[in-house]
Structure 1
């Protein structure tokens, strides 16, 4: 005999399942996507975010999280597109604007990054990220004085952030104010002694000051803290060139180029290597184009002339 209570219970369960709202369903897809992202599986995360968006095409958080997953896959155009969709839905979406500005910088769209920085300042002039993005975009636009002011303001708002100090020191390095740059690097080191960029920057200053051994020690510290940065290996290669160790140097420079084939400083260093080897044809192959595209890059004109004189 069928128990009517069981029938009633089944009906109630079906009713509960049937009443599961779109809001609940899309939220679960978002959470599943987040779990996959935490597991470093961005492709699967994107699948879940798309499921959430299929339920609600105006789900700003799903567009944002999907963009962050695409960023992990180095899909910058797709990242920018989805962040723009999130911002279109929520014009005051601060974090989406911030991340889009950073993505514009990575994509070489510096003026668009500056526009997003201006937008952040209008939204929240008391948030360090507004000034951080402003500083980064102004730096890319070669407006170093404006960038320095922005980074200084960001540091006032976020004094425990060592990266902001390293950015200030970098700008001072560009301006050849090595003494002040080193002072700020020391402050950053007190906050975070394992920050690789401060050690790399210190190495660059020491190289400019002709302290080659000190430069080598500092860049090796940078590599010890982060062995994934192509420009660290490139800098170490440069120092080894000037320390009279060309074969060790060229191995590191080539390694850097394999990691990042678009770095003109690595091409410069390879040209310098060939000048030191007396190989005029190979040296000119690298330095002639650099002298035209980057005429103000340190050492380029000097070694282009040396290559021509071989």
Structure 2
């Protein structure tokens, strides 16, 4: 940061943040550009520009911003970590999986206990059907944050993919102890119960998920499938129609 410019930069950064919170993305970008016009090395502004550009589906421009942060901000591990995770998310979105893995690995080189990078790398493995590797990432993350309900849900999903259904059920139950209203956990518990042919119990899980999110299509469809398996076809059709 250039000496003597701190007040101007922070003023415009705060304006940009306020505009971002109001979803006025173009105006927020202009505020951050004003910061960079005075100090091109003010990388917090560059990183926030990348975030906004990504939200606007201007992904190549976003990647350019995050690349700038990484090139100029290697001495700031927290900023570099954020840029790497954001970059990897964009690359994953566009199916550029090898590049996404490289970004996550760089983030983990900077900080081996980076829970976000471990989780997101696990999610990428899961996207590719590589459930053993996904499970390993989630378990590494859980060693650091053992009471992270979202990580437990992801671990259970990987176990389900590996057909370790009873173990998956136990992991989901732990997630629900920590976060009883976790809709993904409720829905996934229903799916595992259905896989175990325990569809009456599965329906109760889907209904609990729908109590928390009445518009959740996946839970409506899953409830319909379980009802159909039980021969309750009229109720199943009603669930499908609702979806």
In which range does the TM-score fall when normalised by the shorter chain? 0.7 to 0.9
| Cα drift, residue 36 of structure 1 | 2.2
Query: How many Å separate the matches in 2 of 1:82 and 1:184?
Result: 39
Matching residue within 133, 153, 163 for 1:166: 153
| Cα drift, residue 77 of structure 1 | 4.3
Matched, 1:244 2:233: yes
Matched, 1:47 2:30: yes
Q: What does 1:91-106 correspond to in 2, within 5 Å?
A: 91=74, 92=77, 93-106=80-93
Query: How many Å separate the matches in 1 of 2:237 and 2:177?
Result: 36
The residue that corresponds to 2:51 in the other structure is: 68
Which has the greater radius of gyration? Answer: 1
Structure 1 residues 252 and 168 mapped into 2: Cα distance closer, same or farther (>3 Å)?
same
Q: What does 1:283-294 correspond to in 2, within 5 Å?
A: none
Report if aligned partners of 2:13, 2:45 keep a CA contact under 8 Å in 1.
Answer: yes
| Cα drift, residue 202 of structure 1 | 0.6
Q: What does 1:184-199 correspond to in 2, within 5 Å?
A: 184-199=171-186
Query: How many Å separate the matches in 2 of 1:251 and 1:74?
Result: 33
| Cα drift, residue 247 of structure 1 | 3.7
Q: What does 1:14-163 correspond to in 2, within 5 Å?
A: 21-91=4-74, 92=77, 93-163=80-150
Report if aligned partners of 2:224, 2:237 keep a CA contact under 8 Å in 1.
Answer: no
| Cα drift, residue 37 of structure 1 | 2.4
Query: How many Å separate the matches in 1 of 2:28 and 2:42?
Result: 15
Query: How many Å separate the matches in 2 of 1:168 and 1:77?
Result: 32
Q: Deviations over 1:163-189 (max 9, x none)?
A: 111110000111111100000001111
Q: Deviations over 1:249-305 (max 9, x none)?
A: 44344xxxxxxxxxxxxxxxxxxxxxxxxxxxxxxxxxxxxxxxxxxxxxxxxxxxx
Q: Deviations over 1:90-137 (max 9, x none)?
A: 234111112222332233332222111111121111232232232122
Query: How many Å separate the matches in 1 of 2:81 and 2:22?
Result: 26
Give the superposed CA RMSD.
Answer: 2.5
Structure 1 residues 235 and 36 mapped into 2: Cα distance closer, same or farther (>3 Å)?
farther
**TM-score with structure 2 length normalisation?**
0.83
| Cα drift, residue 205 of structure 1 | 0.9
Q: Deviations over 1:191-231 (max 9, x none)?
A: 11111110111111122122333223212322333456553
State which drifts further: 75-84 or 184-193. 75-84
| Cα drift, residue 237 of structure 1 | 4.4
| Cα drift, residue 233 of structure 1 | 4.1
Structure 1 residues 225 and 88 mapped into 2: Cα distance closer, same or farther (>3 Å)?
farther
Structure 1 residues 248 and 187 mapped into 2: Cα distance closer, same or farther (>3 Å)?
same
Query: How many Å separate the matches in 2 of 1:251 and 1:47?
Result: 46
Query: How many Å separate the matches in 2 of 1:223 and 1:71?
Result: 31
Report if aligned partners of 2:155, 2:171 keep a CA contact under 8 Å in 1.
Answer: yes
Query: How many Å separate the matches in 2 of 1:30 and 1:164?
Result: 33
The higher relative CO (CA closer than 8 Å, separation ≥ 6) is in 2
